[in-house]
Amino acid sequence: MFFTPWTPPTPVEQQLQAATARGDWDGQVGALAGGELYVAVARVEADGLVPPAPLAPYRDPASGKRCLPVLTRGALPPWQPDWVFQRTALDDLALEWPHDKWHLAVNPGHPAAAVIPATPLDRAAWLEVYAEAPPPAADRLLSLFTGPLHGPLAQGLACGAPLAVRDGVPWNELGTVYRDYDEDRAVLRDTWGVADPAGWWHLTERLLAGAGAGRDAEFALRAREGLAEHAGAGAAQVSEAGSGAAQVSEAGSGSGAAPGSAPGAGKPPSPATDEWRQAVTHVLAHRAAPEAEVRAMDAAVTRIAAAEERLREQGVLQPGQRVASAAAHDLACAVTVARLGLAARLCGPADAERVVLSAGEAARRTYGSWPAFAAGFLLGEALRSGDPRTGSQGPRRSQGPQGFPGHAGEGSPDDALLTHRIHRVLTSDPASPWLNIPWS
């Protein structure tokens, strides 16, 4: 009989299992000091519908010790509607431990299980180890090695990877928590204004529609694509008449990349900004649009052109390349909201998976490659403003301790720097889904 070797879901479980196997108490505590720990709570208690039950230990069958159980992130059980998880950490446990004779049981029944003594001296040692543990590196790409790594679901989750990196959570997890139950509900409520399943459904539908950069911005981008296609068709006809071969290439790209391999690759040349502005104004004048709408559209063209110029300065876009749509930012938010809704018990696993798959499908229809999607995300991030005149559907700024990715606001140099660092991680880390999952 053959057995499949156990795969540790995250490095924390790997380190904990190795330390337990060699009887290394310091190694066990060190593994826990570097990760998040979770405590199971009945949902009715977490929602305040019944008084919280007092902490009760159980007798560990392997050691015979009376223990309080906690779980590492990789050992969390599958999603259940009536049980949720609240996040804690080793230092909090050390300071709030209820009984000197109880032990700490980590991941009971799991391959990465450990039973750790918790006397006052032990807990003082926990605090020392925790204080000496290096803080988690910012902007890390985290993966759940037992989560989806290939296929449509993984590709959909990878569309939300910029926000997962920013929030310090695994990019490919669709399960029982995003951060923890209380915080996930607070983020949905305070940042997105969502507190019930109906609100969650409405929000995901809006995000999947991809209009968060603003109606004006998306109209301007579509108008530019139409203008470029029209100019390209005319150039192709001239080329056919002169040489018998129609070859329309991206102006000034010089990249030699295959079509779809980069933002705008294989597209007709971009029109000049003045020509683009005039074309948009002409369309609106033909429609007898109000002057305020004309001014808003003109401002959208200016903002897009300035944002794309910054992306060229950062090397995201090459000269002559353009972004066809800023919908990638909304699709990334849709994936994150799906994960948050599942964690907050506003939807079930099938509903959350449907949203993630739909986001992946919409991304493939709109973009031709991961670089093109990344450029669309960065443009959408740059255009977010929360200004009602732009028709923005973006989230409100969170007032809680956790700032939410993609929050509405004017943006700051620190925001732009963080977004650029996240982009660099996802385009350079060998484990990045953007480098390992085929686009088509």
* Predicted confidence (pLDDT) per residue in 73-86, tens digit: 999 999 999 999 99
Q: What is the average pLDDT across 112-139?
A: 91
Which of 34-43, 84-93, 161-170, 389-398 has the least mean pLDDT?
Answer: 389-398
Q: Could you give the residue ranges of the DSSP H alpha helices within 51-114?
A: 90-96
* Reported confidence tier of residue 238, pLDDT bands at 50, 70, 90: very low
Q: What is the average pLDDT across 130-155?
A: 91
pLDDT in tens, 173-203: 999 999 999 999 999 999 999 999 999 999 9
Q: What is the average pLDDT across 257-268?
A: 52
List, in sequence order, every residue forming a beta bridge with 85; answer none if it has no partner: 40
Q: Are 330 and 213 within 8 A, CB to CB?
A: yes
Kindly report the average pLDDT of the chain as a whole number.
84
| Three-state DSSP class for residue 280 | helix
Q: What is the pTM of this model?
A: 0.86
Q: Is 90 exceeded by the pLDDT of residue 416?
A: no
* Reported confidence tier of residue 93, pLDDT bands at 50, 70, 90: very high
Q: Is 90 exceeded by the pLDDT of residue 92?
A: yes
pLDDT at 409: 39
Report DSSP letters for 285-345, one per residue. Answer: HHTT--HHHHHHHHHHHHHHHHHHHHHHHTTSS-TT---S-SHHHHHHHHHHHHHHHHHTT
Q: Is 80 exceeded by the pLDDT of residue 432?
A: yes
Q: Are 384 and 213 within 8 A, CB to CB?
A: yes
Percentage of residues in the chain having pLDDT higher than 90: 63
Q: What is the average pLDDT across 344-363?
A: 98
Task: Please give the Cα distance from 79 to 175 (Å, whole number).
Answer: 6
pLDDT at 84: 97
Task: Please give the Cα distance from 409 to 171 (Å, whole number).
Answer: 25
> Which helix (H) or strand (E) is 114 found in, with range?
strand 114-117
Nearest to 365 by CA among 122, 159, 119, 154: 159
Question: For residue 311, how many C-alpha atoms fall within 13 Å in the half-sphere facing its CB?
Answer: 29
Of 282 and 406, which is predicted with more confidence? 282
pLDDT at 259: 33
pLDDT at 269: 67
Q: Is 80 exceeded by the pLDDT of residue 245?
A: no
Q: Is 50 exceeded by the pLDDT of residue 257?
A: no
Q: Are 235 and 242 within 8 A, CB to CB?
A: no
Which of 92-106, 219-233, 322-336 has the least mean pLDDT?
Answer: 219-233
Strands annotated E in 12-102: 37-42, 58-59, 66-72, 83-88
Of 308 and 386, which is predicted with more confidence? 308
* Reported confidence tier of residue 399, pLDDT bands at 50, 70, 90: very low
Task: Please give the Cα distance from 226 to 319 (Å, whole number).
Answer: 20
pLDDT at 350: 98
Nearest to 381 by CA among 344, 331, 431, 338: 331
Q: What is the average pLDDT across 343-363?
A: 98
**At residue 83, what are phi and psi to the nearest 5 degrees?**
-125, 130
**At residue 30, what are phi and psi to the nearest 5 degrees?**
-65, -40
